[in-house]
Amino acid sequence: MATGKVLGGSVELSAALQQGDISLEQATEIARAEASAPGAAKDLVAVATEESFHVLRDKARKTKLEAEQHLDLAARQHAARRARSHCDDLGMVHIHLELEPHIGAPIVARAEAEAQRLARHAKAAARANPDGHADDGYEPFERHLADAYAALLAGSGTGRAKRPELVVLVSHEVAKRGWSDVRAGEVCKIPGVGPVSPQVAKEISSDAFLSGVFYDGSDLRHIKRWSRDIPVEVRVALELGEGPGFDGVVCTDCGNRFRTEFDHVRPRCRRGPTSPRNLKPRCWRCHQAKTARDRRAGLLRPSEP
Tell whether 74 is covered by a domain. Answer: no
Residue 264 has pLDDT above 80, yes or no: yes
Tell whether 224 is covered by a domain. Answer: yes
My answer on whether 38 and 109 are in the same domain is: no
Measured CA distances, 293 to 80, 252, 258, 267, 282 (Å): 45, 16, 22, 12, 14
Asked which of 154, 177, 196 is the last residue of a domain, the reply is: 154
For 172-206, how does the pLDDT look when each residue is reduced to its tens digit (9 = 90+)?
A: 999 999 998 898 888 899 988 888 989 999 999 88
Residue 16 Cα to chain centre, angstroms: 28
Q: Are 54 and 255 in contact (CB under 8 A)?
A: yes
My answer on whether 35 and 12 are in the same domain is: yes
pLDDT at 136: 57
For 284-303, how does the pLDDT look when each residue is reduced to its tens digit (9 = 90+)?
A: 899 999 999 988 888 877 65
Tell whether 196 is covered by a domain. Answer: no
Tell whether 269 is covered by a domain. Answer: yes
- Mean pLDDT across 60-68: 88
Indicate the pairing of strand 188-190 with strand 194-195: antiparallel
Q: Count the domains in the chain.
A: 3
Q: 94 by DSSP, 3-state: which?
A: strand
Name residue 19's amino acid. Answer: Q
The whole model's pTM is what?
Answer: 0.69
My answer on whether 61 and 104 are in the same domain is: no
pLDDT at 218: 47
Q: Which domain holds residue 135?
A: 82-154
Radius of gyration of the chain from its Cα atoms, rounded to whole angstroms: 22
Tell whether 281 is covered by a domain. Answer: yes
Say how many residues make up the chain.
305
Residue 142 Cα to chain centre, angstroms: 17
- Mean pLDDT across 40-67: 91
My answer on whether 61 and 92 are in the same domain is: no
Q: Strand pairing partners for 84? A: 96
User: Of 67 and 234, which is predicted with more confidence?
Assistant: 67
